Structure 1
Amino acid sequence: MEVALSILTACLSINELKEQVLEAFASWLRLKHGITGSVLASHPLVLTALSSLNLEPLSEASVNVISELIHYTAAGSSGGVAVQMPLIQVLVPQVMSLKAHLKDSSKDEEDVKAIARLFADMGDSYVELIATGSGESMLIVNALLEVASHPEYYIASMTFNFWHSLQVILTKRDSYLPFGNEASIEVERKRRQDAFVPSYESLVSLVSFRVEYPQDYLDLSHEDRKEFKQTRYAVADVLTDAASVLGGDATLQILYKKLVEAVSRCGNGENNEWRPVEAALFCIRAISNYVSVVEAEVMPQVMALIPKLPQQPQLLQTVCLTIGAYSKWLDSASIGPSILPSLIDTLLGAMGTSEDSAAAAALAFRHICDVSGEGSFKVTAEDSLHLVEALSMVITELPPDNAKRALEALCLPVVTPLQEAVNQGQEILNKRPARELTVHIDRFAYIFRYVKHPEAVADAIQKLWPIFKAIFDLRAWDMRTMESLCRACKYAVRTSGRFMGITIGAMLEEIQGLYKQHHQSCFLYLSSEVIKIFGSDPSCANYLKNLIESLFIHTTLLLTNIQEFTARPDIADDCFLLASRCIRYCPQLFIPSEVFQSLVDCSMIGITVQHREASNSILTFLSDIFDIANSSKGEQYLPIRDSVLIPRGPSITRILIASLTGALPSSRLEPVTYTLLSLTRAYGVRAVEWAKECVSLIPLTAVTEVERSRFLKALSDAASGFDINSMTVPIEEMADVCRRNRTVQEIVQGALRPLELNLTPVS
C-alpha cells in the first residue's frame, strides 16, 4: 500500500495525470489497508483531493477520493472512528464548506449531486457520532436537511438511509446502555431525542410533498409509474422513521396541517386540487401504526373530512386505504361508532368507482372486519353485517379460483370462535348466551347470501358442516341459535343449489331428526328452501318424501286444537308455508301421500287462529289446493284433491264464512275472501250450495234475506267464471253487516260455531 501511494504521489507532479492519480488513489482506499488517520490527514494525495473540491467544474475524481476517505474512517478494518479522528477532523470542515453550493442555482446539477453525495456519506458513516446531539453534529444534520430539501428527488433521497439509521440509534435501548442505571439512560435518551425533534419535524415537511401524483401521471410509462410508486414507498419509510422519534401523534399534527391546507385549496377550485389532498392523506396513512388508538384531537377531524372529499379515483383509493389503516383507532375511539356509518358509505361508493378503489375498499372492509372479528369493535351487529355483506359482494366480482380463496379467508375469522366454542364441550357450550354464537353464525348467513359463486359456497358449507352439525346437536333446544343456524343454511342452499352434493342429504337427516325432539319452527322454513331448490330433482325424491312426511306427521300431532295453534303460531306458519312450497315444487311427492289429508284436516282446525302470519299461511295453503287446476300439471292431481276436499267442503266453507264474518280480524278480509272465491271457482255450484247451507244458519235478525241473496249471487257469479275482482264488494258488504256491532257479531259466530265442528275422518 505504501509503495503504491508513493508512486501515485510522485505522479501528482504531472498535471495531465492528476485525475487518473486521484481515481487510482480512490481505488486503493477501497482495499482499506490500515493506514492511520494521522498519516492520511497530511498525505499529499489527500490534500490534493481536498483542494480539488473547490475547482470549477468540480473534480469527480476528488469527490470519489473524499467519499472513499469518509468510508475508510468509519470502517472497522481501519481501526474505526476513534483511530481515524485526525483525518475526520480534516475531512468534515472541508465538506461542510461546500454546503452553500447546495442552493447555488448557477451550480451544475452534477456538481450538486456530487456534493450531496459527500454529505450523505458523512451522515451514513458518522451517524453514531451525530446521534450524540453535539453542536458540531447538528451542523451536519442541518446540511443533510438542505440535501433533503433539494427539488430533485434522486438528490434528496440520498439522505433517507441516514434518517433511518439515526432513528434506530435514538430509539434503540442498547444505544444507551453505557450510561448505566435506568434513570441515567432515560435522561440521556430524552436529551438526544429532544435535540433531534426540530430536525425530524423539518424532515416531515420536506419529504411529504414528494408523494404527490404528477400531473401527467396517466401518460407515464409502466416503468415511470413503477418508479413513482417506489418513491412513495421510500417517503413512507422516512415518515415512519420520523414518527418513531417524534411520536405518531406529533407527526400526525404536522401532516394534518398539510391536509387542511390542501383541502382549503381544493375548496377554492384550484387546478388538480385533489393531488395535494391525496398526498397528505397518503402520508397520514403511512404513520397509522404509530398513531395512538386513543388520539382524540386530530383523527376525529381527519375522519370527518374523508366523506367530504372529491370522488376522484386515486384519491378515493387512498381514502379507503386510510380508513382500513386506522381500523383499530376506529375501534378504540369514543366517536368511532358515530363516524363509521359515513365511512362505510364512502367505502361502498368506492366499490363502483374504479378497480383500484374497489380493491382498496375491499381491503379496508377486511381490516375493519378483522377488528370486528376479534369481538372488540364497538359497532352494532347490524354494522358488522354490512361489512361482511360488502366484502361478500367484492368476492362475487372475482374470478372463480380467486373467489374460492377469498371466501375461505373471509370465513376463517368467523369459524374460529365457533370451533373454539364447540371444542369446549356441551356443558360449557350450553351455558353460553345465544348471542355469543349467533353473532358469528349471522355473518355466515350474509356470506352465503351475497357471495354469488355457487361452487365456492357449496365447498365452504361442506367444510363447515361438521361445526354446524355440532351446534345443531348441542344447542337444538335453543331457538335463537337454531334460527340463526337455519338461516345460514338456507342461504347456503339457495346460493349453492345442486352443487351442494352430499351435504344436503346430511342436512335433511339432521333437521328431520331434531324436529321430532325440539319442535323448532326454523327446521320447517329451512326445509321450505330445500323443497324450492330440489323439489323437482328425481334423484332427491326419496330424501324429500321422507322429509316432508316426517315433518308433516309430527306437526299434525302437535296442532290438534286451536289452543295449540295459538300456542305454536310459528310452527303453524312455517308448516303451511312448507306445504304450499310442496304444492308448487313437488306435488308428485306431497299430494298422493297420506299426510296430504291429515294436513287439510289440520288446516281446518287452525284457520281461525288470531296470529296473522299463521292464519295467512293456512289460507294460502288452502287457496293453492283450490287453484291447483290452474297449473300446467295440476289436473292429474284433481281426483286425489277432490276425494279429500269434497267430503270436507261444507265444513271448510263454514269456517271460511265464519272467518269472513268475525272469527278473524277485519284486516284478514282480503286473504279470506280470495280463499273463499278460490273454493267457489274450484267446485262451482256445489260450493255455492255449501255456502247457502252455512248462510241459512245465520238468523235473519243479523243478516236480511236481501243481504244473503247478494252474497250468494256473488259466489254464484264467481262459480260461473266471472272476474273475481268484481265479486269482492258484495262479499265485503256481508262481512261489514255481520261485524256492525258486537251483538250481531256474537249472534253470527254463535250460529256458525267454527271451532265446534265435528271433523270426521274420511276413508
Structure 2
Amino acid sequence: MTNTTEKFLAEVNTLYNSRDKARREQADSWLQAFQKTSEAWTIANQVLRSPQLTPESEAARHFSAGTFRQKVTLDLNQLDVTARITLRDSLLELLYQYRSGPRLIITQLCLSLACLALQMPEWQNVLHQFTELYGKNPETVNCLLEFLKVLPEEINTNNRIPILDEDYRVRSRQLLTDNSNEVLQILLVYLQNSGTNTDYQKKVFECFHSWLQSGDIAISSIKNNPFLGLSFDALQSDELYDIAVDVVCEIIFETQDIPETMPVIEQIYPRLLPLRAALKRAMEEDNEDKVRGYCRIFTHAGESYLDLIVQHADDFRSIVESIVECTAYHDTEIVRITFYFWHRLADTLYQPRHANIKDKFKDIYSNLVDIMIKHLHYPKDLSNWSAEKRDEFREFRHVMGDVLKDSCLIAGSAECLSKPFATLARQLANSANGSTVDWQEIEAPLFSLRAMGSEVEDEEDVYLPQIMQLLQQLPDHPKIRYAATLVISRYSYWTRHHPQFIPYQLNFISSGFDNEEVSAAAALALKYLCKDCSELLIEYLPQLHHFYFNVTNTLHGVDLFEVTEAVSHVVAAVRSAELLEALQMFCLPIARYLHEFANKGSAATDKEIRDACGEQLSSDKLEQFSIIIRVIADSRKETNTVDVNSGLVHPCITMIKDLWPVFDLLLVQFGSDSHLSEILCKCFKYCVVFYRISFRPLLPDLMERLVTVFGQTRLSCYLWVATKCVQEYSDDEGTEMTMAMLSFVERLSVTMFSLLNGKKSADIPDVIEDYFRLNIALFENIPITYSQSAVFLSVFQAGLSCLTIQQPDALFSIIVFFNKLLKFRADPKQKQKQKQSPGTINVPISSTSVTEATLNAALSIHDSLWKQYGTSFLESIFKGLMYTFPRDIQHTEIHEILRFLSKLYPLECQQWISEIIQNIQDSNLTSEAKNGFIRDFNSAIRGQDWSRLRRITNDFIAVFRRRYLASRQRRDNE
C-alpha cells in the first residue's frame, strides 16, 4: 500500500467520522484535489478490489466509486485509447464483483460506464455486451437494469462531459435511439417474468421511465403494448405506486402532440376515468401521498390534453372536475400542483375563437373562487407558526391570487365579486347578531378582492359600490384594517370613475397612519389613489399638504417615500401656471431644512446628517426632493421639440435653481460623505435625465461641480452622474456640446489617472467601474473624435493595467470597453449607440459630419494601438481566464473580443497566441497541451470558424483551471 493510498484512506475516514468540523473541511479539500490527479485512477481501483471489510474501507469504497464517475466525466483525457479499454474492462469486472451491492456502488459504477460509453466510439454493441454479461443470471440482472436506468439520464443530463456537439449527437443516437425498441422488449420480458417480486418490478419501471423521459422510446411504440396497461395496473400496488405515477405522467406527457398520438390517447383516456373513484377514496382516507399522485396524473392529463378538453368539453369534463377536487384538498402543496393548469385553461378559453365554449366552464371557475377563499384563511393558531412558515403561506396566497384573476376572466368579474361580497355581508350580519367572528373569516375575502382587482372593469357598478360601503362597517382589527386598506389601493383606478368615494377613502387611508401595523398599507394605498385620481385630488391639495408634513414626522423609509410619491402625483396634475406655487408648498420646507443643515457644516450632529442623507430608520430630505422632481417629470413627459430659448422655465428647474446654492454648500461641506453624496447624485441624475432640455442652462455649472468634487473626494458616484451627462447631452461628432463633453471627461481623467497611480486597482473597484462606463458612454457617441483625443491612449493603457482586477463589475466594465473599441474597428461605418432620448435613432456615419480622412485617421490609431499592445492585452486576458478572473464573469464579451481580434489581425493574433501560450510556465500546462491549443486556435483563425474558436478556448481554460486548482489545493494541504 503506497503512502498516497494510506493518506487517502485516512482522509476518507476523517471526512466521514471526525467530529472536528475544520478537520473534515480539510479532508474534503484534500480529497477533491486527489480526485483530479492521475494517481486517483489506480488508487480507486485498488480500494474497490481490496478484500478488507472494515468500516473505514467501506467508506473508501463508496468514495472510490464516486471518484471513477468524476474522473470519467472530466479527466478521461488523462488516458490514451488502450488505457480506456483497460478501464472499461476493469469497471465491468468491478460491477460484477459488487453485483450484490451496496446499491450506491453499483449506481456509481454504472454511471461511470455510461459516461465512458458516450466518450468511447470504439466501444460498439454496448447494450449487447451488458445483456450478455449481466442479463442472463438472476444475480446480476439488477446490474443490467441499473445501467439501463442511468444510461439515458447520464447522456442527457450530464453537461460536464467534454464532447463535441456532433460527436455527442452521433454517439447518443447509437446508444439510445438505435437501441430503444430492443430495450423496450427486454424490459417487458423482465416485467412479465417478475411474478410477485415488487422490488424487481420497481426497477423495471424505473428503467422504462428513464427511457421514456429521454424521448428515445417512441410513444407510438407502446400503442397496444402491455406496458401501457401494466403501468396503470401498478397504481393499485402500494409498493409500486410512486414509480407508477411517474411512468403514467410521463406517458401522458409524451402524448401531448395530440394529432400524432391520438391512437395512444384513446387507450389512455378510458384508464383515467376509474382513477377518479380512487382519488376520492384516497381523500376520504386522507392519504396525502396517494392524493398527490392522482393529482399529478389528472393535472398532467389536463395540461397535455388541453385542446381536447376545450374542443370536447362535455366528454373531458371528468378530468377537469377531478382537478377541481384536487384543488379543494386541504394540503396546499397538492393544491399548488393544479395552478398552472387553471392558468393555461383560462388563457385558452379567453381567446375570441373560444367565446362560445367559455360558458361551459363558468361554473368551474366560479367554484374555484369559493375554494381559493377557503384556502386563503390564516389559521387560528397563527401565533404558533414560525416566521418561515408565515412567509411561505404569504407567498402561496399571492399564487392563489393568480387563480382568482383567471377565474374573473372566465366566470366574469360580477360573479367572482359576488362571492367575497356575500361572505363579508354574512359575517357582518353574524357579528351584528352577537356571534363571534374571527378576523380570519373577514380578512380572507378581503384578500380575494384585492387579488381580483386587475381583472375588474372600471365601470363595474353592482358589487364594488356595495363593497366600498361595507368597508366602513368592518371591525377595527389591524389585520382587517390592513387588508381593507389594500383593497382601496387595488381599486384606485375604479375610484377614478366613481369619485364620490374619494372623501371616504382619503379619511379611511389617513386614519390608517395612526396604527403602526396598518401604516405601510396606508402609504401604499395613498400612493395609488393619488396616482390614479391625481386631477380629482387637486382640490384636496391644502389638506394633503397639512397631512403630509404632519405624517412625515413619524414615517420612515419606504412608507415615507410612498407618501411623498403620492402627494407628488397630485402636484404634478396642477396646471402649469400654478405648478410652481404647488411645488414651493411642498419643497420649500425641505429646502429650508437642507439649507440650515448645510450651513452647520462640520457642527452638524450625527442625527442631523442621518435626517438629511437618510438611513433605514430616518427621514430623508434629499430623497423626498428627488422623488418629487422625478414624479413630476414622469407625469409631464418632456419632448425634444421644446425651444430652450423660448423663455419658458420649467417650474422644477426654478426650484432646482433656488436649491442650487444649497446643493453647492452640501457638496462643499459633506461631499465626501458617501451616503449623502449618492442621494445628492440621484437628484442630479433626475435633473439630467428627466429635464434634459430644461436643465441644459445649468449643465455647465453641474459639470464644473462634478470635476471639482471628484477631484476632492474620488467617490465613484460623481463619475456615475458624469456618465448620465455624457449619455444625455453628447450630440454627434464635432459639435460644440460633444466637444464640451470630451473636455469634461478629460478633466475627470486627470483625477482618475492620479488615483490609479496612487492606489491599487483592487482598492477602488467601484471608481474603476464607473470610470470605464463613462468612457464607454462617450465612445459610443463620438468614436472618431474620442479616438483622436488626447485621453484615448491613456484610457487604453489604464484599461490594460486594470485587467488584473478581480471584482466582477469593475472587470466587466473594462472588458466591455475593449469590446466596444473592437466592434467599432470591425464595423466603422455604423454609428455607435446614440444618446438615449426620445426621437433619436441609430444612423450611419455621414460624410457631412465626418470625412473619410478623419475616419481613416481614427482607424489608423486603433490599428496602431492593437498592434503595439496586442500581446500584452491578450496575455492579460488569457492569464485572467486561467488564474484570476471570477468564474461567473460573463464570457460572451471576451469571446467577442477574441473573435474581433482574430478577424481584424489574423496573422498578428496567431503570433501573439503562440508567444503567450508558449511563455506560460506552469507545471499544470504540458507542452503537448500548449502545442495542441496553439494549433487548434490558429487553425480556427485561418478557417474563420469562430464557434470552433470559442469552443477550443473554453475547453482549454476549463481543463487548465481544474488542474491548476487541484494542484493549488494540494500545495495548501501539504
- TM-score class normalised by the smaller sequence: 0.5 to 0.7
Task: Give, as a single letter, the amino acid of the residue that structure 2 aligns with 1:348.
Answer: Y
Q: Between Structure 1 and Structure 2, how many residues are aligned?
A: 465
Match of 1:212 in 2: none
Match of 2:562 in 1: 386
- Structure 1 residue 527 displacement after superposition: 0.6
- Structure 1 residue 491 displacement after superposition: 1.6
Match of 1:627 in 2: 823
Whether the 8 Å CA contact 2:530–2:569 is kept in 1: the answer is no
Whether the 8 Å CA contact 1:661–1:738 is kept in 2: the answer is yes
Whether the 8 Å CA contact 2:509–2:525 is kept in 1: the answer is no
CA distance change for structure 1 residues 477 and 338 in 2, over 3 Å: closer, same or farther?
Answer: closer
Whether the 8 Å CA contact 2:731–2:781 is kept in 1: the answer is yes
Whether the 8 Å CA contact 2:537–2:570 is kept in 1: the answer is no
Query: The residue matched to 1:644 in structure 2 has which SS?
Result: helix
Match of 1:550 in 2: 747
- Structure 1 residue 386 displacement after superposition: 3.1
1:461 equivalenced with 2:648 (yes/no) = no
- Paired with 1:606 and 1:573, the residues of 2 have a C-alpha distance of 10
The CA deviation string for residues 133-178 of structure 1, in whole angstroms up to 9 with x for no partner, is: xxxxxxxxxxxxxxxxxxxxxxxxxxxxxxxxxxxxxxxxxxxxxx
- Structure 1 residue 429 displacement after superposition: 7.0
CA distance change for structure 1 residues 449 and 744 in 2, over 3 Å: closer, same or farther?
Answer: same
**Larger Rg over CA atoms:** 1
- Paired with 2:927 and 2:578, the residues of 1 have a C-alpha distance of 74
**Aligned counterparts, 1:221-240, within 5 A:** none
1:523 equivalenced with 2:739 (yes/no) = no
- Paired with 1:442 and 1:647, the residues of 2 have a C-alpha distance of 48
Whether the 8 Å CA contact 2:548–2:563 is kept in 1: the answer is no
- Paired with 2:956 and 2:805, the residues of 1 have a C-alpha distance of 21
Match of 2:901 in 1: 679
Query: The residue matched to 1:566 in structure 2 has which SS?
Result: helix
- Paired with 1:650 and 1:372, the residues of 2 have a C-alpha distance of 63
Whether the 8 Å CA contact 2:571–2:583 is kept in 1: the answer is yes
- Structure 1 residue 462 displacement after superposition: 2.8
1:340 equivalenced with 2:522 (yes/no) = yes
Task: Give, as a single letter, the amino acid of the residue that structure 2 aligns with 1:663.
Answer: T
Match of 1:447 in 2: 628
- Paired with 2:871 and 2:523, the residues of 1 have a C-alpha distance of 58
- Paired with 1:493 and 1:649, the residues of 2 have a C-alpha distance of 38
- Structure 1 residue 642 displacement after superposition: 2.6
**Aligned counterparts, 1:297-696, within 5 A:** 297=476, 304-308=483-487, 311=491, 312-313=494-495, 317=499, 319-325=501-507, 329-340=511-522, 343-344=525-526, 348=528, 351-352=531-532, 357-360=533-536, 371=547, 373=549, 376=552, 378-392=554-568, 400-401=576-577, 406-428=582-604, 432-438=608-614, 439-450=620-631, 451-452=633-634, 453=636, 454=638, 455-536=650-731, 538-560=735-757, 564-629=760-825, 630-631=827-828, 632=830, 633=845, 636-668=857-889, 670=891, 671-696=893-918
The CA deviation string for residues 593-645 of structure 1, in whole angstroms up to 9 with x for no partner, is: 22211121111111121111111111111111222222425655211223333
Task: Give, as a single letter, the amino acid of the residue that structure 2 aligns with 1:524.
Answer: L
The CA deviation string for residues 245-272 of structure 1, in whole angstroms up to 9 with x for no partner, is: xxxxxxxxxxxxxxx9xx99xx9xx995
Q: CA RMSD in A?
A: 4.1
CA distance change for structure 1 residues 628 and 315 in 2, over 3 Å: closer, same or farther?
Answer: closer
Task: Give, as a single letter, the amino acid of the residue that structure 2 aligns with 1:441.
Answer: L
CA distance change for structure 1 residues 602 and 333 in 2, over 3 Å: closer, same or farther?
Answer: same
- Paired with 1:276 and 1:388, the residues of 2 have a C-alpha distance of 31
- Paired with 1:548 and 1:476, the residues of 2 have a C-alpha distance of 20
Task: Give, as a single letter, the amino acid of the residue that structure 2 aligns with 1:730.
Answer: I
The CA deviation string for residues 497-527 of structure 1, in whole angstroms up to 9 with x for no partner, is: 1321321111111111111111111111111
Task: Give, as a single letter, the amino acid of the residue that structure 2 aligns with 1:623.
Answer: N
Moved more, 498-507 or 398-407: 398-407
CA distance change for structure 1 residues 378 and 432 in 2, over 3 Å: closer, same or farther?
Answer: closer
The CA deviation string for residues 338-358 of structure 1, in whole angstroms up to 9 with x for no partner, is: 5336635xx527845xxxx44
Consecutive unaligned residues of structure 1, counting only runs of 5 or more, are: 1-259, 285-295, 748-763
Percentage of identical aligned residues: 17
Match of 1:249 in 2: none
- Paired with 1:441 and 1:304, the residues of 2 have a C-alpha distance of 32
- Paired with 2:683 and 2:739, the residues of 1 have a C-alpha distance of 25
**Aligned counterparts, 1:83-232, within 5 A:** none
Whether the 8 Å CA contact 1:336–1:378 is kept in 2: the answer is no
Whether the 8 Å CA contact 2:882–2:961 is kept in 1: the answer is yes
TM-score, normalised by the number of residues in structure 2: 0.43
- Structure 1 residue 732 displacement after superposition: 1.0
Task: Give, as a single letter, the amino acid of the residue that structure 2 aligns with 1:324.
Answer: L
Whether the 8 Å CA contact 1:560–1:605 is kept in 2: the answer is no
Query: The residue matched to 1:497 in structure 2 has which SS?
Result: coil
Whether the 8 Å CA contact 1:691–1:712 is kept in 2: the answer is yes
- Paired with 1:384 and 1:272, the residues of 2 have a C-alpha distance of 35
CA distance change for structure 1 residues 738 and 280 in 2, over 3 Å: closer, same or farther?
Answer: closer
- Paired with 2:461 and 2:805, the residues of 1 have a C-alpha distance of 70
TM-score, normalised by the number of residues in structure 1: 0.53
Work out which structure has the larger RCO, using CA pairs closer than 8 Å and 6 or more positions apart in sequence.
2
- Structure 1 residue 564 displacement after superposition: 1.6
Query: The residue matched to 1:666 in structure 2 has which SS?
Result: coil
Whether the 8 Å CA contact 2:535–2:574 is kept in 1: the answer is no
- Paired with 1:430 and 1:543, the residues of 2 have a C-alpha distance of 39
1:730 equivalenced with 2:926 (yes/no) = no
Match of 1:740 in 2: 962
- Paired with 1:405 and 1:726, the residues of 2 have a C-alpha distance of 66
- Paired with 2:859 and 2:964, the residues of 1 have a C-alpha distance of 41
CA distance change for structure 1 residues 358 and 510 in 2, over 3 Å: closer, same or farther?
Answer: closer
The CA deviation string for residues 110-138 of structure 1, in whole angstroms up to 9 with x for no partner, is: xxxxxxxxxxxxxxxxxxxxxxxxxxxxx
- Paired with 2:782 and 2:469, the residues of 1 have a C-alpha distance of 62
Whether the 8 Å CA contact 2:485–2:522 is kept in 1: the answer is no
- Structure 1 residue 466 displacement after superposition: 1.9
Whether the 8 Å CA contact 2:571–2:582 is kept in 1: the answer is yes
Task: Give, as a single letter, the amino acid of the residue that structure 1 aligns with 2:519.
Answer: P
CA distance change for structure 1 residues 699 and 364 in 2, over 3 Å: closer, same or farther?
Answer: farther
Task: Give, as a single letter, the amino acid of the residue that structure 2 aligns with 1:520.
Answer: L
CA distance change for structure 1 residues 431 and 385 in 2, over 3 Å: closer, same or farther?
Answer: closer
Whether the 8 Å CA contact 1:303–1:339 is kept in 2: the answer is yes
- Paired with 2:795 and 2:823, the residues of 1 have a C-alpha distance of 17
CA distance change for structure 1 residues 706 and 682 in 2, over 3 Å: closer, same or farther?
Answer: same
Task: Give, as a single letter, the amino acid of the residue that structure 1 aligns with 2:514.
Answer: S
- Paired with 1:706 and 1:397, the residues of 2 have a C-alpha distance of 73
Whether the 8 Å CA contact 2:478–2:518 is kept in 1: the answer is no
- Paired with 1:364 and 1:661, the residues of 2 have a C-alpha distance of 65
- Paired with 2:461 and 2:745, the residues of 1 have a C-alpha distance of 69
- Paired with 1:428 and 1:643, the residues of 2 have a C-alpha distance of 55
CA distance change for structure 1 residues 637 and 276 in 2, over 3 Å: closer, same or farther?
Answer: same
Whether the 8 Å CA contact 2:538–2:570 is kept in 1: the answer is yes
